[in-house]
Amino acid sequence: MVQQQINEQLNKMFKWTLSSNESSDETLRQGTSQNAQCLSVLEKREESDIYSSVLSIIKLIHQNIELKNTILLTGSMKKFPIEVWWMLNKDNVYTIENYIKRCDENSAQEVSEELFSLLEGDSGTRDIRQQIVTDFTDILVKIAFPEKKSEHQVPLKRMCMKILDGVTKGVLCQMKDFTEGTILHTFPPTDALKQSYYRKYAIHTLSFTMSYLPNMKVSQALQNQGEWKSAKTNPVRIQLYKQLMLVFEAREVLDILNRILERQEVNWENVLSFLATFLVCFKDASSLIEDHVKRLLSEGLEKGDMESTIVAFFLIRQSCLEGPHVFPSYQDWFQQTFGDSGRTVAESKKAFSFLMKFLTDVVPYELAVYLKAHVLKPPWSPVKCRDLLSDYILLAKTRLADLKQPIGSEDRYNETGHIVTARQKEEQAEQHVLKALSGFESTGKIPASVMEASIFRKPYFVGQFLPALLKPRPLPDIPDTRMKFMKLLHKADKISNTLYNQYVSNCQKAAQKLLQGVFNISDNEDNCMGDVSLPPVEQLKYRLNQLKDTLENNTHNKVNEVLSHISDKIELILNIDQKQSENSTDSVTIVTIDTDYPQLQPVYVDVVDTILNFICKMVYSDIQCNRQSDWLKGLLAILSQHRPLVNPLITRILVLLTSKDSSLKEHHIQGLSSIFCMMMSEGCQFNTVLVKDCSCSIPPSDILHVILKRMETKVPPALLLRFLSSYLQFGFYNNCFVNGCNEKLLKSYMLVCWRYKKCYDKTSYNDNCDITMTVYNSTLFQDLVKDIQITIREWLEFESNVYGKDELSELQRYEYHSDIIYNHFLRDYDAVAVASELFQCCLLLQDSGTICDMCSRSGDGHSVSEWNNLLQSILPLLPSQKDDDEPWAIRQWQKYIGESSSDKRCFQTLIFIRSIMKFPSHLLFVNHTFDVTPNMVSAALEFLKNHMKEHINEGCYFTLPFTVYILQGLISVSQFLEDRKILQQISLQNIFLVSFVVHWKHIQHLWSKLNLPLVNISSFDIATDTRVVLEENGFSSLPSKSELCVAASLFSILIKRKYIDVEAVMEQITLSLSNQTAVNLLDMILCYSAVNSVSEIDSCENTGRCKKVVNFIISRAPSVFPVIFTDCIIKQYLASAEAKRYYEFTILRSLSELSDDKLKHFLEEKMNCKHIITCFSKITEKFDQDSKQPIDEILDHCNFTKKCLKMTPQSHLLFIDKSLVKNCGIDVYNLFISLSTR
């Protein structure tokens, strides 16, 4: 009876006529949950009637168990769907193995197709489809790859293998069409993974996959490798590779891959995408690949094996493409493998020649990034192979030229993230702005070129120059050069009120905008959907959340894989072509950071803010959960690879850490400090980034140095303490200091901790008490600093630059400084060293002329006076001085100027004198007055005459304050001199003599204290009484050797005295003046005017007096003029360096102010035109050397010189040498030739 019922059900199934009646529905409802799921699978295929009949058969068989083994299923049952066979197997009616044994070749193809069709479906049937496929696969694998060989099983094995290969083939061919419900892995039961048959299956499938459709040429593969990164590989392919690698160790996977590459032709896309997956799935894969490639190259190059060499370069380039979090860059690998004779694998002539042959052969197919790496970092070559290398480099350069790819860094992104060539006009205007700012900074005036542009080139001035100048930026607290320049232009009506006010408003908005959006991303970004349909930035956030889940679930083996996806999303956002993604071929990148005016693209800011938020939250979570943050190094390596993000990243962090308006919480500080800690760790790609935080000539530094410099000067020490404590805490926990820690950072931390001990009762310091004391007192920290000694110079530099608005009062700060000086440094150093460092610190703090506005510290200026007060208390501790020793002060000057240029030396000497004059005057001569000897005084006077006159000089005499200081010093030491004759030589030195005469009215009371006779005392007396000078023949009784004193007296009266009618005085004394006195007076005024034209040491009234005196002498006595070029002691022996530099300018400037009649009379003197030519020749020579004078003034002097040539009698031109005129330029020379030969 049962047999008859079964046959009836079979007939129904075969005819597909079963209807959905109540009884069958009830049967289905009584099935298990898996049966219901299986029904839904069949319903999708419109085969639910078959499933209903199968359930009926199963029910009937179970009612009569003895029939189970006697039923002879007809051959037509082979047409059942495999879901039915799975159900029959599940209910022990008919096994899958028996079913497969009954299949023929055609049935095997159908089974393969049906199994493949189960991989695709909706998510609701995913679990049952997965179970069906897994069960079938497990049985097929056991039959196809048995542990023991059996000859009679060979046909069955072959058929099972064909079924499995068919499924794999389907996956490889149609994986792009798979959707969300696709089964991405078909793992067999866990115990099956331990069996040898599954290992055989994995090896076979890998071999089949690698060799499937091997129709891609090597040249094509070379150009498409960038598309086969793990992040760009189809997820189905990735999961297939993971399934097959699951049963192997990393070394076994590499051995399998190597065997496949050796024995058969391969599909490069499959091989290299598998390699990419292998790299991100196994932690030690990169080192294994590197060693394997090195062996391949060593053997392949030496044996001339092209196939091995191709494989090696394919493997290494694919590894490099995965990113720095997995593998070094190609350039680094190539340099390390071939860069020097000690490491190269192409050491022999044969190996190197073959390497060059390979690289030459692939040049037509190479990407530009690889050609640049070979050209800029060429391999080491044996001596006899240099020609081969030269030929290859020439070929590579030619190929780069064909590709229109520049060699070097021209194609790199600039600091703003734009392509350099896209902003040429804007950059040109910015360069003009910088040039104008430089000119304004040196003169304090609006450059003539800017004034001309505002008048004659108004479209350029308004359309390009002003927009470049008025770009919005957060304004600094202390007005910088740009602000001062704009205010001057605004005052001169070159910038309208509307434009200026709009600029100020935009700057305020820029300051707020710079701080917005950095830490405002929601914490609840839980998105468990895929990222394909999301905008690019949202895709990045999705992958970062994926990394967060990976870390929190402790699935660290997936970190590299997720990081690769993050790198891919960054490339997508930045729109970087993979073929150019390694466009930075230099080993070191220099970026200039401008936090006042950051030119950052919004998309870059979004990326950086997103990543900073993630890092801060994740690092803080790691610390709270006692997890190490190894992932951070890989993430930073990715950021360093994408160089357009380097500038925005560093800029944002600098703004956050140094802005007064940013309120950083603990997790922000912890996250930002961890970033810098990991950046400085060994092997991090940010080690190749150097930063300039302004555009001045100061060389770039590493990132940590810049951040410490900024934080020390711009934020309270309490915030610096928080940052450094968190930095060290993170470093200790993550083993970042295995090879030591940055010494500058450790010293900064020690210094700020010294302050902390003084400020322990302050609120802002108290907030960090626990972490600071824990770190500072830890054995780890003490081991790091045990060999570090902080010098007094380092302490002074730190304290001088530290942010001025700290929580120490002036009294507390003085007590702290005194305590450190007396109880720490005077204990380890002698007083000379401490005093010297204090004084040098004072000098450097005043040396603002060598520091641009951006580099200057932001303190409130209290330090100079405090150091001076401390130094005053230490000077009495200086040791006694030996007779042949130089005074302490003179040694300080020598130490300060060092090897400085003449220009800088002048400026430094002014600072030195300004500083030393705040201390006792005897220091110029001796350390202590009671030690003084005649030799010391004589040496000091000689030093002042030889060195100080060049710099502390108002043209040809010492300034009044310095003259007074010298006399005070002499008075101090004279009381302790047994032999006072040495003091008399002071009146024999011209520089002292002229200085005393010019300032006699102010210093005669001091001179009287010396109680010394003075040579030519009558001239000094005359200098004090203007009426005597005005009397006719007032100087007739003076000795001839007093002409220098007379000239100095007249200079003092005519220039320094008020209420003097210069022309009247000159009229009265003209007949009494000797020729030499007139020459000395003229020379003295020219030197004074030369210095005054640059430094404006005196009033405009005195400048006008100088012009009147010069014009009077030149017009009344033109014969005097040539003498100043041949016989005048003023310029030769007394003039300062600055007076000598601008001497010729002053002469021509004075002569050009003569009227035409007076000028013509002046030129009648036969040698005067020659001397004018001489002056202009020296002017052009100086301009060619340094170009410090405005070009407009040079042109004016040129026109005046030509005017003088035209007014000079032709006979006088014969006295002028043609070679001298040639130095004046072609215009002057041609005019001279035409005039002299007419």
pLDDT tens-digit series, residues 934-945: 888 888 888 888
Q: Which two tokens stand for residue 839?
A: 């004084």
For residue 1028, pLDDT beyond 70? no
Cα gap 382→363, rounded to integer Å? 22
Q: What is the mean pLDDT of residues 803-814?
A: 76
Cα gap 620→393, rounded to integer Å? 50
691 has which bridge partners?
A: 591, 701
For residue 850, pLDDT beyond 70? no
Residue that is written with structure tokens 């040098």 in the block: 840
Strands 689-692 and 701-702: antiparallel
589 has which bridge partners?
A: 689
pLDDT tens, position by position, 610-624:
999 999 999 999 988
**Element holding 717 (H helix, E strand):** helix 717-733
Q: What is the mean pLDDT of residues 1041-1054?
A: 79
- Confidence band for 247, pLDDT divided at 50, 70 and 90: confident
For residue 1039, pLDDT beyond 50? no
Q: What integer pLDDT is reported at residue 108 of this predicted model?
A: 83
Q: Which of 30-44, 215-229, 449-463 has the highest mean pLDDT?
A: 215-229
Contact 255, 207 (CB under 8 A): no
- Sign of CA pseudo-dihedral 1062, 1067, 1069, 1072: positive
The more confident residue out of 559 and 417 is 559
For residue 1017, pLDDT beyond 50? no
Q: What is the mean pLDDT of residues 963-986?
A: 84
Cα gap 933→979, rounded to integer Å? 8
Contact 320, 328 (CB under 8 A): yes
**Amino acid residing at 1138:** E
Cα gap 48→783, rounded to integer Å? 76
For residue 61, pLDDT beyond 60? no
Q: What integer pLDDT is reported at residue 309 of this predicted model?
A: 95
CB neighbourhood size of 895 (10 A): 12
Q: What integer pLDDT is reported at residue 685 of this predicted model?
A: 64
Q: Which two tokens stand for residue 706?
A: 């810049």
Cα gap 288→20, rounded to integer Å? 61
Q: Which two tokens stand for residue 1096?
A: 């404006």
Q: What integer pLDDT is reported at residue 338 of this predicted model?
A: 94
Residue that is written with structure tokens 């408003």 in the block: 505
Q: Which of 76-80, 85-89, 577-581, 831-835 has the highest mean pLDDT?
A: 831-835
- Confidence band for 572, pLDDT divided at 50, 70 and 90: confident
- pLDDT cut 90: percent of the chain above it: 20
The more confident residue out of 830 and 105 is 830
Q: Which two tokens stand for residue 1078?
A: 């007139």
- Confidence band for 281, pLDDT divided at 50, 70 and 90: very high
Nearest Cα neighbor of 947 from 890, 874, 1029 is 890
Q: What integer pLDDT is reported at residue 730 of this predicted model?
A: 92
- Confidence band for 385, pLDDT divided at 50, 70 and 90: very high
Task: State the helix-helix crossing angle for 792-801 and 863-874, rounded to 10 degrees.
Answer: 150
- 808: CB partners within 8 A, 6+ apart: 755, 758, 759, 816
- Confidence band for 670, pLDDT divided at 50, 70 and 90: very high
Residue that is written with structure tokens 């500038």 in the block: 647
The more confident residue out of 952 and 749 is 749
CB neighbourhood size of 545 (10 A): 17
Nearest Cα neighbor of 741 from 692, 785, 690, 693 is 785
Q: What is the mean pLDDT of residues 1-29?
A: 43
Cα gap 654→710, rounded to integer Å? 8
Mean pLDDT of the chain: 79
Cα gap 489→451, rounded to integer Å? 9
- pLDDT cut 70: percent of the chain above it: 79
Q: What integer pLDDT is reported at residue 295 of this predicted model?
A: 94
pLDDT tens, position by position, 685-714:
676 667 766 655 567 777 888 888 888 888
Residues in the chain: 1238
Q: What integer pLDDT is reported at residue 1037 of this predicted model?
A: 43
Q: How far is CA 1001 from CA 784, 996, 1025, 1134, in A?
A: 65, 9, 10, 21
**Element holding 1083 (H helix, E strand):** helix 1075-1095
- Confidence band for 53, pLDDT divided at 50, 70 and 90: low
| pTM of structure | 0.68
**Element holding 702 (H helix, E strand):** strand 701-702
Q: Which two tokens stand for residue 359?
A: 């690289």
Q: What is the per-residue DSSP string for 113-136?
A: HHHHHHTS--GGGHHHHHHHHHHH
Nearest Cα neighbor of 814 from 765, 867, 857, 763 is 867
DSSP annotation of 227: G
Strands 589-592 and 701-702: unpaired
For residue 808, pLDDT beyond 80? no
pLDDT tens, position by position, 1202-1224:
999 999 998 888 888 888 888 89
- Edge-first strand order for the sheet with 701-702 is 589-592, 689-692, 701-702
pLDDT tens, position by position, 147-170:
887 776 788 888 899 999 999 998
The more confident residue out of 1018 and 241 is 241
Q: What is the mean pLDDT of residues 1122-1150?
A: 83
Q: How far is CA 509 from CA 430, 473, 483, 505, in A?
A: 22, 9, 17, 6
Q: What integer pLDDT is reported at residue 702 of this predicted model?
A: 78
Q: What integer pLDDT is reported at residue 762 of this predicted model?
A: 53
Q: Measured between alpha carbons, how far apart are the two ends of the chain, in Å?
A: 145
Q: What integer pLDDT is reported at residue 50 of this predicted model?
A: 55
The vertex-1040 CA angle with 1035 and 1042, nearest 5°, equals 70
Q: What integer pLDDT is reported at residue 43 of this predicted model?
A: 52
Q: Which two tokens stand for residue 1110?
A: 């010069």
Contact 49, 16 (CB under 8 A): yes
- Confidence band for 516, pLDDT divided at 50, 70 and 90: low
- 839: CB partners within 8 A, 6+ apart: 871, 892, 915
- Confidence band for 982, pLDDT divided at 50, 70 and 90: confident
Q: What is the mean pLDDT of residues 185-204?
A: 71
Radius of gyration of the chain from Cα atoms?
Answer: 45
For residue 299, pLDDT beyond 80? yes
Residue that is written with structure tokens 């961890």 in the block: 674
Contacts 24+ apart (CB under 8 A), 152-160: 156/100, 156/101, 159/100, 159/103, 159/105, 159/108, 160/100
Q: What is the mean pLDDT of residues 298-307?
A: 94
The more confident residue out of 5 and 1156 is 1156
Q: Which two tokens stand for residue 270?
A: 């499959």
Q: What integer pLDDT is reported at residue 454 of this predicted model?
A: 81
Q: What integer pLDDT is reported at residue 759 of this predicted model?
A: 60
Give me the residue spans of the domains in the chain: 1-93, 95-174, 420-515, 536-715, 917-1015
Task: State the helix-helix crossing angle for 33-44 and 48-63, rounded to 10 degrees.
Answer: 150
- Confidence band for 132, pLDDT divided at 50, 70 and 90: confident
Cα gap 1009→1006, rounded to integer Å? 5
Q: What integer pLDDT is reported at residue 186 of this predicted model?
A: 56
Q: What integer pLDDT is reported at residue 492 of this predicted model?
A: 84
For residue 584, pLDDT beyond 60? no
- Confidence band for 767, pLDDT divided at 50, 70 and 90: low
Cα gap 1047→1074, rounded to integer Å? 10
Residue that is written with structure tokens 């990243």 in the block: 649
pLDDT tens, position by position, 892-907:
888 888 877 777 888 8
Residue 1077 CB burial class (10 angstroms; 0-12, 13-18, ≥19): buried
Q: What integer pLDDT is reported at residue 282 of this predicted model?
A: 92
Cα gap 719→617, rounded to integer Å? 19
Cα gap 607→595, rounded to integer Å? 18
Cα gap 148→136, rounded to integer Å? 21
For residue 681, pLDDT beyond 50? yes
358 has which bridge partners?
A: none
Three-state SS for 349-374 is: HHHHHHHHHHHHHHHHHCCHHHHHHH
The more confident residue out of 569 and 78 is 569
Nearest Cα neighbor of 639 from 667, 668, 607 is 607
Q: What integer pLDDT is reported at residue 156 of this predicted model?
A: 87
Cα gap 50→56, rounded to integer Å? 10
Reading phi first (left if > 0) and then psi (alpha if -120 to 50, else beta), residue 123 is in alpha
- Confidence band for 1, pLDDT divided at 50, 70 and 90: very low
